[in-house]
Amino acid sequence: MKIKNILILFALGLLFACEPKIDTFTTTSGEADFSKYVSLGNSLTSGYADGDLYKSGQENSYPAILAGQFEAAGGGEFKQPLMFDEYGFGRRFLLDASIPGPVLAGVAPDERNFQSIAGDGPFNNMGVPGAKSFHLGIAGYGTLNPYFGRFASAATTSVLADAIAQNPTFFSLWIGNNDVLAYALTGASSDSITPMPYFAGSIGAMLQKLTENGAKGIIANIPNITSIPYFTFMNTRLPYNGLVLTEQAQVDALNAGYAPLNAFIKSIGSTDTLAFALGQNGFVIAENDVLWGMRQMKSGELFLLTLPTDSIKNYGYGSQTPIPDKYILSTGEINEIKTATTAFNTVIKNYAQQFDIAFVDMNAKLSEIEQGGVVYDGVPFTTAFITGNSFSLDGVHMTGKGNALAANYFIDAINAKYGSVIKHVSPRLYPGIYYYQ
Amino acid sequence: MKKSTLLLLVLCLSATSVFSGGYQVRLQGHRQTGMGLVGVSLFGDASTIFYNPGAMSKTNNKFSFLVGGSGIFNNTVFSLENSTYQAKTDNPMGTPVFLYAAGKLGEKWSLGLGVYTPYGSSAKWGDDWAGKNLIQDISMKVFFIQPTVGYKFSDKLSIGAGFVYATGDVELNKAVPYSSPTVQGQANLQGKTTNYGFNAGILYTPNEDWSVGLSYRSEVTMALSDGDATFTVPSSLAGALSKDKFDADLPLPANLDFGFAYRSSEKFLFSVEFNYVLWETYDTLKFTFKGNPALNSSNPREYTNRLITRIGGEYIVNDLITVRAGAYYDPSPTNKNFFNPETPSLDTYGMSFGLSINPTKKFAIDLSYLHLETQETTKSYTPEYFTGNYKTRTMIPGIGLSYKF
């Protein structure tokens, strides 16, 4: 009898729930309701990184990280229009440590990445790479932009319409970067800065619709794009006056070669001639603002990450041949971009007050990172290319760690505005740069 | 980025941790396990070789032989701070085993040999969990082989000592932050070693009812030398990070055990015991790499000495059946700021039951069941800013055979 009892006791012990359990951390939503969160924006919102939109990048996008933190405060499911692999549209960069620098992954992407996944929608993350402010409201935008075409509910819909159709209780809107960036990305040689009425009008209209049913939300402003590695890295390698002449023969040959042009420039009363001496000289660059189409590069002007340095070394780019405009931002263009950014950011801030939503000053945050850097959970963030932790290999978009930091900035602004207690994430747990295979 | 920069980065991440502080396993006899792991004041069979060699010669039997083992079913749950993220270990079953033989040489002397596994650990968190840069999985096995001699001054006082030959191996995997879309960077470290130590004890039995035991087991340092480090990294980094050799010291702490047992009747015995474990020796885990000194790391552990308190009882139902029960409290030696999930050791409450079946006077089948629960505790590994709540549950059934005459 006793043995039996004891054996039963043994058996009970073994059956005793084998797994220990812990309750998860809970937080509070304050005045906000995170049950249906929809994010709107451009590539930064979509999780685009390393020159492409790929699955793990999307999974580490700041809206996905936010949604993960909202979960403990009543947040619902957050569905994203995920790619099927890590190679998106086949343009992803990876780091080749031997250069060191980005190289194309060179892997054929999954064919399903190019097919519509609208049937799996609707999607909470409505970030569309390449979108400008006024694009989000354009009916039929999916036919113009394949990133939206992939998941647009219909050929005639707009990003905003698909967002509104989900009845979001909370939204985030981070748009406007492309309104200045698209212009700058081409060295200001094509595209254009969005005219203010389009910018202000489209954002105002979107906020009107998004807040109509009492939804709370957050809007982010536009970081100063000339702080990003796409515009700063090349100048750390090659200064504006990186044309170094070591022999008098080279100097004489160049001065002789440009003598006829200089004579012409002087003849029409300009002093903007080209001159070469031993040592460092400003590169010869294309310039559409002068009749003769070229000048020497000046301090403060920026090379783009796309600059073909081989052509400078081997084919006389910058000396015998002007470096094309699309690889350079001139001081004039930089000022144009800065002026537009400042004006756009004023509009965004005013709208945040007008529509009584949270506002996150990403411009100030990036400037903090640029000036001295930010250390979060021991992770040092700077704007340096490859080593700075903030930016991915395309020099424009954030790494997983960068997205985590951005998400924390959003969280701070949300908590401040709505009295919620959403917790930060540790950027340490998110990926940085990916190496070549 | 230059090679040296890369290596420095690896150093930083090696500075997280690399292997276990060791998990002490006192499951070296089912009589003791059934009684909450008291043992220093018990006598009568060859498991005294481990629990107190001073008690080995205090027996009426000419010869005692024991063999047994346990299955450790252990799982730890982790909940990341500020998040709904949770992870759970998928540990393989741990299998501590023991084998003892002891015989009398005349009235006063006795000789014995024990083979047992007093330290060991295995934790498998998975390749892709949040703490992968600290540890993915670890397995550590240590065998002690211990020839022992005992001497009985009188029926009241006996002493004994054993020489320990220790042999152990450790293998662990952890992520390194060099990944491509297809390769997740990983470091595999493994090494083997042997070393020596001793244990010694004394047993005092003033009368038929009482016994008092004191035992000491020395620290043994498992000095891994020329361990193999293998790095799995994307091909574009393979030149900078490949195979290497490393040295590291892993201390197995000394124990000082004191306890007494009281036999209130022919049938009932009760025991209380204290184990003072000198974990303070596990202060820092250092790795020295032979090929790339840039990989060297020094990882804080800062363990503290701990006192374990145990109680246990035994009831002889009849000639056939003996039942046992016990309980103990085992405070974790880990430091709350340097808590590495490689050794998720928490303050633990243990509760045990035991049963022996004696079909004959000489032969017995011993069963034990030990159940361990921990309190949910917030712990950090501050060098890596890794904080969360941990909780563990462990179930350990065991079986053994005993033969004596």
For chain B, say whether A434 makes contact (Cβ under 8 Å): yes
Q: d(Cα A124, Cα A171) in Å, to the nearest integer?
A: 9
Judging contacts by C-beta atoms under 8 Å, the chain B residues touching residue A10 are 353, 367, 369, 397
State yes or no: pLDDT of B184 exceeds 70: yes
pLDDT value at residue B328? 95
Q: Considering A307, A330, A353, which residue would you say is the last residue of a domain?
A: A330
Euclidean distance between the first and the last CA atom of chain A, given in angstroms as a whole number = 66
Of B235, B367, B376, the CB nearest to A22: B376
**Are the Cβ atoms of B1 and A425 closer than 8 angstroms?**
no
Cβ-nearest to B179 among A92, A426, A431: A431
Q: How far is A100 from chain B (nearest CA, A)?
A: 6
Mean pLDDT of the residues in chain B: 90
End-to-end CA distance of chain B: 72
Q: Is A104 on the interface with B (CB under 8 A)?
A: no
Closest-CA residue to B370 (of B401, B394, B339): B394
Q: Does A336 touch chain B (CB under 8 A)?
A: no
ipTM over 0.95: no
Containing structural domain, residue A213? 37-226+332-429
Which residues of chain A fall below pLDDT 50?
Answer: 1, 14-15
* Confidence (pLDDT) at B13: 30
Q: Do A426 and B317 touch (CB under 8 A)?
A: no
* Reported confidence tier of residue B16, pLDDT bands at 50, 70, 90: very low
> Is A7 within a domain?
no
Please check whether residues A242 and A372 belong to one and the same domain. no
Cα separation of B15 and B134, whole Å?
9
Shared domain for A200 and A315, answered yes or no, is no
Q: Residues of B with CB below 8 A from A429's CB?
A: 80, 130
Q: Which of A22, A100, A377 sits opposite B86 (nearest CB)?
A: A22
Say which residue the tokens 């001639």 belong to: A273
Query: Is A8 within a domain?
Result: no
**Using omega within 30 degrees of 0 as the cis cutoff, is the peptide bond preceding A100 cis?**
yes
> Are residues A167 and A90 part of one domain?
yes
Residues A178 and A219 occupy one common structural domain: yes
Cis peptide before B251 (omega within 30 of 0): no
Min Cα separation B166/chain A (Å):
33
Q: How many other CB atoms are there within 10 angstroms of residue B329's CB atom?
A: 14
Q: At a CB cut-off of 8 Å and minimum separation 6, what does A259 contact?
A: none
CB pair distance less than 8 Å for B73 and A18: yes
Residues A266, A134: one domain? no
Domain shared by A363 and A408, yes or no: yes
Probe site for chain B from A25, A420, A424 (most B CB atoms < 10 A): A25
Report the residue count for chain A.
437
User: What kind of fold does domain B3-404 have according to CATH?
Assistant: Porin (2.40.160)
Residue contact B235–A24, C-beta within 8 A: no
pLDDT of res. A56: 96
- Residue A98: predicted pLDDT: 82
How many CA atoms lie within 13 Å of A104's alpha carbon, on the beta-carbon side? 8
B15 vs A234: CA distance, rounded Å: 33
Single residue among A330, A360, A391 that ends a domain in this structure: A330
Cβ separation A2–B181 shorter than 8 A: no
Nearest CB to A426 within list B1, B383, B385: B385
Contacting A residues, span 26-85, partner chain B, CB-CB under 8 Å? 27, 54, 56, 68-69, 71-72
Same domain, A134 and A72: yes
Q: Is B210's pLDDT higher than 90?
A: yes
Q: Are A78 and A47 in contact (CB under 8 A)?
A: no
User: Does the distance separating the beta carbons of A437 and B180 come in below 8 Å?
Assistant: yes
What local confidence, expressed as pLDDT, does residue A188 receive? 66
User: Which stretch of DSSP H or E encloses residue A243?
Assistant: strand A243-245
**Which residues contact residue A350 at a Cβ distance below 8 angstroms, ignoring those fewer than 6 apart?**
none
* Contact call for A105 and B179, based on CB within 8 A: no
Closest CA to B112 of B144, B143, B146, B142: B146
Q: How many CB atoms lie within 10 A of CB B172?
A: 22
Q: Does the residue A19 lie in any domain? A: no
Among the listed residues B18, B11, B7, the one whose alpha carbon sits nearest the alpha carbon of residue B300: B18
| Residue B79 to residue A22, Cβ atoms within 8 A | yes
Q: Domain containing A364 — which CATH number?
A: 3.40.50.1110
Percent of chain B with pLDDT over 90: 76
Residue B359, token pair as written in the block:
């079909």
Q: Which residue of A has its CA nearest to B353?
A: A10
Residue where a domain stops, chosen among A300, A330, A360: A330
CA distance B360 to chain A (A): 17
Cross-chain residue pair B181–A377, CB shorter than 8 Å: no
Residues A386 and A298 in one domain: no
Does A342 share its domain with A306? no
Q: Domain ranges in chain B?
A: 3-404
So what's the pLDDT on residue A194? 94
Shortest CA distance from A28: residue in chain B: B82
Asked, for residue A6, whether it belongs to a domain, the answer is no
Give domain status of residue A10, yes or no. no
Q: Total structural domains in chain A?
A: 2
Is residue B129 pLDDT above 90, yes or no?
Answer: yes
Q: What is the mean pLDDT of the segment spanning B136-160?
A: 94
A183 and A312 in one domain? no
Helices (H), B227-345: none
Note whether A99 and A206 are same-domain residues: yes
Q: Is residue B312 within 8 Å of B35, Cβ to Cβ? A: yes
Token pair in block for residue A378:
């021991």
Cβ B395–A18 below 8 Å, yes or no? yes
Instruction: Tell me the torsion sign for CA atoms A105, A111, A114, A120.
Output: negative
Q: Looking at the structure, do residues A104 and A205 belong to the same domain, yes or no?
A: yes
Please tell me the predicted confidence (pLDDT) of residue A320: 87
pLDDT (mean) for B231-255: 89
Q: What is the pLDDT of residue B14?
A: 29
Please tell me the predicted confidence (pLDDT) of residue A309. Answer: 84
Closest alpha carbon within chain A to B85: A24
| Cα atoms in the Cβ-side hemisphere of radius 13 Å centred on B126 | 12
Residue A430 contacts B where some CB pair is shorter than 8 Å: no
Does B400 have pLDDT greater than 90?
A: yes
Q: Which residues contact B397 (CB under 8 A, 6 or more apart)?
A: A10, A13, A14, B70, B71, B367, B368, B369
